[in-house]
Amino acid sequence: MHVGVLVVGGSLTGLSAALFLGMHGVPCLVVERRDGILAHPRLRGLLPRAMELYRQAGVEDEIVSRCPVGAPPTDLVSVHARTLSEEHEPLTEPEDGGADAEQVSPCGFVPIGQDELETVLAQQVRERGCDLRFGTRLTDLAQGRDGVMARLRGPDGTEETVEADYVIAADGASSPVRRRLGIRSSGPGTLFHMVTMHIHADLSPALRGRRIGMAYLGRPAPGTTLGPLDSTGTRWFFATAVSSGSSGDIASEDPAAWVRAATGLDALDVRLLEQVPGAGRIFTFPVGARVADRYRVGRVFLAGDAAHLMPPTGSLGGLTGIMDAHDLAWKLAFVLRGSAGPALLDTYGAERRPAAEQAMGQAYARALLRWRLPGHGGGCTLLPTSVLMYGAAVPEGAPGTRAPHLYVSEDASSPMSTLDLYGTGLVLLVGPEGDAWESAAHRAGQRLSVAVEVYHLDADLAGPHGLTNGSALLVGPDGVVVWRCDGRRGDLDGTLERVLRDLLCR
Ligand SMILES: Cc1cc2nc3c(=O)[nH]c(=O)nc-3n(C[C@H](O)[C@H](O)[C@H](O)COP(=O)(O)OP(=O)(O)OC[C@H]3O[C@@H](n4cnc5c(N)ncnc54)[C@H](O)[C@@H]3O)c2cc1C
């Protein structure tokens, strides 16, 4: 069997890669060794940038509709206190300080659990023709000049060899593929262990009428978090730091006592909910911070936690994996269909690795503050989340930043954003008097057999993009500005062709 792209790991990053590849018309095979989606508590929310990428793929509404606390969750409050019963305390982490989310994005924060999210993604990728196989493990991998031979073992033990043009290793923090490729990781390493569990408990005496999105509590350990699993007010996600991750040590603890300490309700009746039958009710994981030294060996690419691990502070881990998947998907699609040269794939690691190092540094600094660990801030200046996601607090069309978001249509039920112009191809935005650019883009596109869509922005939209008479802005499929030209000068055809050749490594 031959496939264009084999994705190893069918969790958040692997399923997102399959979704984005599908958006570009590239079918793929996804193998996941687990029998189904992991229901244990992990990611509890998606930042707006992740939702922007899912919006491009047409799954934003489906994800929001599966949000268990109801959507839009505008009345949820964040609580920072010693216990849930006590009054608000000053934050250990500084306020984000970024731009107003509504000002910079058509998407908001969506408090969805990773299991619900992956259920949506799995269904969507299958509907779009992806071959998603649960219970199937990659057991061996060998690279040749023209492809990768992958050995797979199916649920009934049968072995199969698949030949792939490219492999995405989205096989998690312990990535067997990364180890096999001999790629090392660098960073502070493991900080401590954390337990998470789902519980059933009536917390109304401590909630006092509040509808909470997330509570950050000081008991039984700093950085304890509690959040709703649904809108019943009785099913909760709970996480706290523990001194040891050994199962023997955890078994000797009393999980109900952790919850009573966190809520300040000494007589609280707490029931642990079963997540995965037979897989235990308490999930333990190391909180760590590291980034792989390389993202690529030959035709195999690391993505998601396989490439970078970071503490959950800041909700950046899953987002960084989703952004990897999106970046790699468009680059693989362009190379596979011959629109770009193979060297475009080298830009994946060159761009995504520094982004992961920055996100890891920020998550690590926030973790030191939240868990009150020594090494205040880790020597790193905290940046607003919007800067991490967009490259600027308020994007204004500078190269390397996400293009600005402005509403184009007034339709209140589904307003269209300028971000809806991006996704699968290259876009040239031109301001007033942009006709010459449009003709140049058409001719350059024809010569290179690459589609470049041109949009003329009126003065209201052109201004916030920094577009004046005769200027132009080239935006990539991820919505990031790759080039701008302030003023029409000289040989437009030649200029644009050079820019496209550089961008696509032609
Ligand atoms: C408690 C907690 C809270 C978090 N909160 C947030 C948050 O709020 N926001 C956020 O953005 N992120 C959060 N994260 C991080 C987020 O959960 C991870 O970044 C995300 O799960 C990474 O997804 P992944 O697909 O890269 O890796 P994983 O989820 O680890 O998936 C890797 C998959 O590969 C499979 N696999 C491995 N080897 C093979 C093989 N040989 N063959 C086939 N399959 C294989 C595994 O079975 C696994 O399913 C949190 C994490 C935790 C633990």
Pairing of strands 271-272, 282-292: unpaired
Catalytic residues, which ones? 216
Give the whole-angstrom CA distance, residue 363 versus residue 313: 5
**What confidence category does residue 211 fall into, taking pLDDT thresholds of 50, 70 and 90?**
confident
What are the backbone dihedrals phi and psi of residue 372, each rounded to the nearest 5 degrees, phi first? 50, 50
- The top-scoring range by mean pLDDT among 159-163, 245-249, 383-387 is 159-163
Q: In terms of domains, do 456 and 497 share one?
A: yes
Give the pLDDT score at 274. Answer: 73
Q: Would you say residue 52 lies in a domain?
A: yes
Question: Comparing C-alpha atoms, which of 11, 3, 25, 12 is closest to residue 477?
Answer: 25
Instruction: Tell me which of 15, 42, 44, 282 to substitute to probe ligand 1's pocket, judged by most ligand atoms within 8 Å of the beta carbon.
Output: 42
Looking up residue 334, the CATH number of its domain turns out to be 3.50.50.60
Instruction: Tell me which of 110, 305, 309, 323 to substitute to probe ligand 1's pocket, judged by most ligand atoms within 8 Å of the beta carbon.
Output: 305
Give the mean model confidence (pLDDT) for residues 358-362.
Answer: 95
Give the whole-angstrom CA distance, residue 355 versus residue 251: 38
- Closest Cα to atom 50, ligand 1: which residue? 43
Instruction: Write out 358-384 in H/E/C secondary structure.
Output: HHHHHHHHHHHHHCCCCCHHHHCCCCC
**What confidence category does residue 387 fall into, taking pLDDT thresholds of 50, 70 and 90?**
confident
Q: In terms of domains, do 359 and 443 share one?
A: no
**What confidence category does residue 99 fall into, taking pLDDT thresholds of 50, 70 and 90?**
low
Q: Would you say residue 262 lies in a domain?
A: no
- Closest Cα to atom 4, ligand 1: which residue? 43
Instruction: Tell me which of 38, 43, 131 to substitute to probe ligand 1's pocket, judged by most ligand atoms within 8 Å of the beta carbon.
Output: 43
Q: In terms of domains, do 319 and 450 share one?
A: no
Residue 210 CA, ligand 1 centroid: distance in Å? 31
Pairing of strands 28-32, 2-8: parallel
Q: Would you say residue 264 lies in a domain?
A: no
Q: Which tens digits make up the pLDDT trace of 103-123? A: 899 998 888 889 889 999 999
Q: Which atom of ligand 1 lies nearest, measured to the CA of 318?
A: 11
Q: In terms of domains, do 298 and 423 share one?
A: no
Q: Which amino acid is at 190?
A: T
Q: Would you say residue 136 lies in a domain?
A: yes
87 or 500, which is more confident: 500
Q: In terms of domains, do 63 and 142 share one?
A: yes
Q: In terms of domains, do 304 and 368 share one?
A: yes
Residue 356 CA, ligand 1 centroid: distance in Å? 15
Q: In terms of domains, do 365 and 487 share one?
A: no
Does the pLDDT of residue 384 top 70, yes or no?
Answer: yes
Q: Would you say residue 210 lies in a domain?
A: no
Does the pLDDT of residue 399 top 60, yes or no?
Answer: yes
Give the pLDDT score at 42. Answer: 81
**Which residue's structure tokens are 């935006």?**
475
Give the mean model confidence (pLDDT) for residues 484-503.
Answer: 90
Does the pLDDT of residue 415 top 80, yes or no?
Answer: yes
**What confidence category does residue 177 fall into, taking pLDDT thresholds of 50, 70 and 90?**
very high
Q: In terms of domains, do 169 and 60 share one?
A: yes
Q: In terms of domains, do 52 and 130 share one?
A: yes
Q: In terms of domains, do 433 and 372 share one?
A: no
Percent of the chain, pLDDT > 70?
93
Give the mean model confidence (pLDDT) for residues 126-141.
Answer: 96
Q: Which amino acid is at 278?
A: G
CB atoms within 10 A of CB 191: 17
Give the pLDDT score at 168. Answer: 98
Does the pLDDT of residue 72 top 60, yes or no?
Answer: no
Q: In terms of domains, do 50 and 131 share one?
A: yes
**What confidence category does residue 339 fall into, taking pLDDT thresholds of 50, 70 and 90?**
very high
Does the pLDDT of residue 95 top 70, yes or no?
Answer: no
Give the mean model confidence (pLDDT) for residues 40-62.
Answer: 91
Give the pLDDT score at 49. Answer: 96
- Closest Cα to atom 37, ligand 1: which residue? 171
**What confidence category does residue 74 fall into, taking pLDDT thresholds of 50, 70 and 90?**
low
Q: Would you say residue 35 lies in a domain?
A: yes
Query: Which among 341, 370, 385 is the end of a domain?
Result: 385
User: What Rg, from alpha-carbon coordinates, does the chain have?
Assistant: 24
Q: Would you say residue 147 lies in a domain?
A: yes
Residue 7 CA, ligand 1 centroid: distance in Å? 14
Give the pLDDT score at 67. Answer: 81
Does the pLDDT of residue 446 top 90, yes or no?
Answer: yes
Write the CB contacts of 493 (distance below 8 Å, at least 6 apart in sequence): 440, 443, 444
Does the pLDDT of residue 277 top 70, yes or no?
Answer: no
Q: Which atom of ligand 1 lies nearest, measured to the CA of 316?
A: 11
**What confidence category does residue 466 fall into, taking pLDDT thresholds of 50, 70 and 90?**
very high
Give the pLDDT score at 90. Answer: 62
Does the pLDDT of residue 76 top 80, yes or no?
Answer: no
Residue 318 CA, ligand 1 centroid: distance in Å? 7
Q: For residue 24, what are the CA distances in angstroms to 120, 187, 359, 425? A: 19, 34, 27, 9
Does the pLDDT of residue 84 top 70, yes or no?
Answer: yes
Question: Comparing C-alpha atoms, which of 344, 382, 337, 340 is closest to residue 361?
Answer: 382
Does the pLDDT of residue 276 top 70, yes or no?
Answer: no
Q: Which residues line ligand 1 (CB under 6 A)?
A: 8-9, 11-14, 31-34, 42-45, 114, 137-138, 170-173, 176, 196, 239, 285, 304-305, 312, 315-319, 321
**What confidence category does residue 141 fall into, taking pLDDT thresholds of 50, 70 and 90?**
very high
Residue 321 CA, ligand 1 centroid: distance in Å? 9
- Closest Cα to atom 20, ligand 1: which residue? 318
Domain that holds residue 456: 418-503
Query: Which among 361, 385, 409 is the end of a domain?
Result: 385
**What confidence category does residue 61 fall into, taking pLDDT thresholds of 50, 70 and 90?**
very high
Beta bridge partners of 291: 186, 308
Query: Which among 340, 370, 385 is the end of a domain?
Result: 385
**What confidence category does residue 62 fall into, taking pLDDT thresholds of 50, 70 and 90?**
very high
Does the pLDDT of residue 488 top 80, yes or no?
Answer: no
Give the pLDDT score at 73. Answer: 56
Q: Would you say residue 211 lies in a domain?
A: no
The vertex-327 CA angle with 59 and 503, nearest 5°, equals: 130
Looking up residue 452, the CATH number of its domain turns out to be 3.40.30.120
Pairing of strands 224-228, 212-217: antiparallel
**Mean of all residue pLDDT scores within the chain:** 90
Give the whole-angstrom CA distance, residue 18 versus residue 106: 24
Does the pLDDT of residue 250 top 60, yes or no?
Answer: yes
Q: Which of these ranges, 67-71, 283-287, 371-375, 380-384, has the smallest mean pLDDT? A: 67-71
DSSP letter assigned to residue 279: S
Q: In terms of domains, do 15 and 163 share one?
A: yes
Count of structural domains, the chain: 2
Give the pLDDT score at 348. Answer: 98
Residue 175 CA, ligand 1 centroid: distance in Å? 10
48 or 211, which is more confident: 48
Collapsing DSSP states into helix, strand and coil, what is residue 40? coil
Does the pLDDT of residue 80 top 80, yes or no?
Answer: yes
Give the pLDDT score at 388. Answer: 87
3-state helix, strand, coil in the chain (%, to 5): 35, 25, 40
